Amino acid sequence: MHRNIDTVDRTIRGVLGIWLLVTGIAALRDEQPTKAATLGTAGVGLVVNWYTGFCGGNALFGIDTSMGESRE
């Protein structure tokens, strides 16, 4: 896999992913398991995108926002 998201996109995904995870934990504590599972799954997906620098959705549609950045 090569990176297909840039630094700004990665930062936004990381912040939003962590926020979704925290919100999911709060929903779980409020005994709302469906909402907690949905938020947790979305949060984990965004955190994985942040960590790897790769987005499967971008790859599927041929989007590459990492123009000019080093690829690993």
Query: What is the DSSP code string of 32-59?
Result: -HHHHHHHHHHHHHHHHHHHHS--HHHH
More confident residue, 14 or 65: 14
Report the Cα 71 to chain-centroid distance in Å.
Answer: 19
User: Are 16 and 55 within 8 A, CB to CB?
Assistant: no
**CB-based burial label for 53 (10 Å; 0-12, 13-18, 19+):** buried
Q: What is the pLDDT of residues 42-71, one digit of tens each?
A: 999 999 999 999 999 998 998 888 876 555
Residue 33 confidence (pLDDT) above 90 = yes
Residue 1 confidence (pLDDT) above 90 = no
